[in-house]
Structures are given as structure tokens and as C-alpha cells.
Amino acid sequence: MSKSDVLKLMKDEDVAYVDIRFTDPRGKLQHVTLMHDQVDEDFLEEGFMFDGSSIQGWKSIEASDMKLIPDPDSAYIDPFYAEKTLCLHCTVVEPDTGEPYERDPRGTAIKAEAYLKSSGIGDAAYFGPEAEFFIFDNVRYSNTMNKVSYEVDAIDAAWNTDTEYEMGNTGHRPGIKGGYFPVNPIDHGQDLRSEMLSTMKRIGMKVDKHHHEVASCQHELGLIFSSLTDQGDQLQKYKYIIHNVAEAYGKSATFMPKPIYGDNGTGMHVNMSIWKDGKPLFAGDKYADLSQEALWFIGGILKHAKTLNAFTNPSTNSYKRLIPGFEAPVLRAYSARNRSGCVRIPWTESPKAKRVEARFPDPSANPYLCFAALLMAGLDGITNKIDPGEAMDKNLYDLPAEELEGIPTVCGSLREALDALKADHNFLLAGDVFTKDQIDGYIDLKMEELELYEHTPHPVEFGMYYSC
């Protein structure tokens, strides 16, 4: 869409407000709402000034002025507000120079796409994330000096088979690790997921399916692939719609990777492909009908996996999912179809659909930084012809201990991931896609979370140590 198209849409839809939205370093969508008569072609060109010091991980108060530049292509009508509101996703620039702000995640995604083109390797990168989530009926938690606790509950949860309800207990529930694909009444989420998907469709998102996932109370909707930056926008809308449709049903949705103990965690498998001159770069005559470039791309992902964890698995909770035994892809290996390694090559008949799937990311990730980092690792693999080694076509979950010892793993904690990012980030700096200042600021922001987590007593510690 052009700027004039946006203004025409506002007039045709009788828009009352314009919501300009941007993403902070942690990946949370932020917004400010303007009266429609404040938005004209000059506004769309010149942008909106705001205080960057109020966003964690951005500017200090003595140099806090920043500017939001709306992207006309991102325009959509918000499906939840009572007043007709047009939404626009923005990039952040320096107000005095107009240059992109180096810590803006969306700007990083745009630079990653530009770097791909300048490299000569390809001219388009497509991403297809599969972000899972949990839905609960009741969520309670406390973090005070003398009380650290949480409780989640849902009427369709596996642990409620013997709960006494006033209306009775029907008993139809998926068991632990038993939620994949049973129909209703075991699957309680059909209508809720359908409304989420229909809402996405109404605002112009490309979606295709929905289903219950493996864990109790776990779900997934299908996003169709798109270009890197656009898919970052789509995933932000995906989260926004899921949260708000659940809220409208009196329920609570979360993209937290591991909200419950003893069942599968929530992942975000990311499908990736590169095209050049209208042709799929990853299709070829090597292993699993991949090209040599695709194998090198995989080599880059596997080599830099621990660094990538800082962006693809950026929460302390991420590493409660990345453990053996719950379908978590912790081993740095690749294979065709096999879902037990951290990189998979999905089966497809068409060369146009040939792609690589990274299985270790989770939806607590900032989508722009996650996708950009994955692309940069893969491009480093192609540039330096990094050999991924032999494919592992056996079930890695069942390997004996002596065989497992020879297979490297992803990180086991956020601290390990941040240490890896400190030690191995030169590939991210290529083309100024990421900057040293941005990486340092990101590490500082994540260290705040890590230190709070490490300094806080955990309820399970009372069970283990209180009477020692």
C-alpha cells in the first residue's frame, strides 16, 4: 500500500483512530493511539516523536527523543477496539538524522533482508513459524519477599479428571502428552481456535489451519510463510489476536515455553527458504533433495546454535522446555523428516516448497531478532561453506548414552546462551545487520531477567532443602 492508499482506507472505513505500533527489544508490541485527523500524508512521511527512555533496553533519559515511521504496507483494521481503529506497524529512527535506530528489532529485520540481497546469495528469504501456545481458565502467581508461587487451571486440563464441578465432570480430556489431534469432546478448543483463525483472516493475514497440540491445554494455528520482516509483523498480530480472543472468552493465552510441569513445552518451529532470481535456492540433488547451499545453511545454523539460543530461546523458562524427554530438539543434528534433531528437512514433492526447519526456537522470542539471527547464521554457513556433517536419520531420543556423547547440544540455560552470544557474534555484525551496541544492550537487558531468576528462591527448593 502507498501512503495515499492508507488515507483512502481510513476514509472508506470511516476510521476514528490510528494506532501506531512498534516492538520493544523483548518482543512485546507497544502502541500509541492518535485521532484520525492527526494523520495525513505528511504524518506518514515524517513520523511520530516519542520518549525512548521509557522503553527498557533503549535510550537513556538525556538522549531519549526517538521517532516512529509507519509502514503503509502493514495497515489493518483492529478487530477488537469499539471505535474503528487503523493499525500501522512502525520502524524506529533517530530524529536528527533519520537513520534507523540500531536497537530497533524491526529495523534489524529490514537490514537482514537488505544484507541477503547485497550478498548475492539470494534476493528473498521466506519464513514460516509454527508458534504453539497454552490456554488456561485461571492463572494466579505471586512474587514477593515471602511468597513465590503460581497456579494455572483449565476445565479441560488432564489433572482435572476427578475434580467435582457443580455441573458435573464429563471426563473427556486429553491425557498427558495425549492432546495431538483427538476430536471433540476431548478437544475443547475447536470453536475458540476457529474464531482466532477467522479473526486473523478478516484482517488480511495468510492462515491455513488450527489444531490441539500434544500437551494438555496446548494449541497451534497455522501461519502461511512470508518474507522475513513481514512475517515478524504477522507473528506480532498472531500473538495479539490469540491473547485478545482468549480474553473475550474469559480465558488466558500464554506463549510461555513451559508453563506446566511434566508435559510438553511450547515451541516455535521456524521454516526457512531462500530464493534467487525467482528460483528456490535450497532445492537440489544432495541429501533429501537439498542443494549444497542448503546444506551449508544448515551448517551455519548448527555451528552457531548456542549463540542463536540467546535470540530464539531468550527466556529463563525456555530452558525448562529444552530438556530431553518432551519432544524437545536439544541435539545439534539434522535429518529429513526426523523430528528429534534441532534441524529438520520437511518432506515435499515440489522444489518450490524445499525448506529447512529449525525446531529449537520458542515463541518467547522477539520474532524480528529471531528470524534475522537465523538468517545471518545460515548465510554465514553459505559464505564459509560450513559442512553440517552427516545427517542423523535415527530417533535421537532413543540413542544409547555412548552415542549421545558424540552429539553436541544446544544451550542448557539462558546464562550459557548469553555467554555464547558474547563469545560468538561476529557473523551477526556482517552488513551492520546487528551492531555491537545492540548486542551489548540486549545482553544487559537479559541479564536483569537472569539475575532476578537466579536470586529468587524456588518453591521446589523448600521441598528439597527446608528440612535439611
Residue 113 marked in a binding site: no
Residue 220 catalytic? yes
User: Is 357 one of the annotated active-site residues of the chain?
Assistant: yes
Clarify whether 359 is annotated catalytic: yes
Annotated binding residue at 276? no
Check the annotation: does 220 bind a ligand. Answer: yes
Active site residue 403: no
Q: Is the peptide bond before 185 cis (omega within 30 degrees of 0)?
A: yes
Please choose, from the candidates 424, 392, 419, the residue with its C-alpha nearest in 3D space to the C-alpha of residue 408. 392
Query: Binding site annotation covers 339?
Result: yes
The residues near 390 (Cβ < 8 Å, ≥ 6 apart) are none
The annotation status of 188 as a binding-site residue, yes or no, is no
Q: Is 269 known to sit in a ligand binding site? A: yes
**CA pair distance 326, 258, nearest whole angstrom:** 11
Question: 352 a known binding residue?
Answer: yes
Q: Of 352, 359, 375, 225, which is closest to residue 289 (Cα–Cα)?
A: 352
Residues in the chain: 468
Closest C-alpha among 10, 83, 78, 81 to residue 44 = 10
Residue 357 assigned ligand-binding role: yes
Q: Take residue 237 and report the three cell numbers written for it.
A: 498480530
Q: Which of 71, 130, 187, 293 is catalytic?
A: 130
Q: One of 24, 102, 187, 357 is an active-site residue; which one?
A: 357
Q: How many CB atoms lie within 10 A of CB 449?
A: 15
CA 410/CA 416 separation, integer angstroms = 9
CA–CA gap between residue 155 and residue 280 (Å, rounded): 46
User: Which helix (H) or strand (E) is 134 found in, with range?
Assistant: strand 124-136
Closest CA to 158 of 43, 277, 262: 262
- Residue tagged active-site, from 24, 71, 104, 213: 213
Residue 327, annotated ligand binder?
A: yes
Annotated catalytic residue 213: yes
184 is in an annotated binding site: no
Is 339 considered catalytic here? yes
Q: Is 130 annotated as a binding residue?
A: yes
Q: Which three cell numbers stand for residue 74?
A: 502493514
Is 140 assigned a ligand-binding role in the annotation?
no
- Of these residues, 220, 233, 263, 380, which one is catalytic? 220
Q: Which of 5, 45, 51, 448 is catalytic?
A: 51
Does the annotation count 132 as an active-site position? yes
For residue 150, the Cα-to-chain-centroid distance in whole angstroms is 24
DSSP type of residue 324:
T
Question: Looking at 24, 104, 113, 132, which residue is catalytic?
Answer: 132
Among the listed residues 284, 273, 291, 235, the one whose alpha carbon sits nearest the alpha carbon of residue 124: 273
Residue ranges at the known binding site for L-glutamate: 264-265, 321, 327, 339, 359
Catalytic residues: 51, 130, 132, 213, 220, 269, 339, 357, 359
Residue ranges at the known binding site: 130, 132, 208, 213, 220, 264-265, 269, 321, 327, 339, 352, 357, 359
Residue ranges at the known binding site for ATP: 208, 339, 352
Residue ranges at the known binding site for Mg(2+): 130, 132, 213, 220, 269, 357
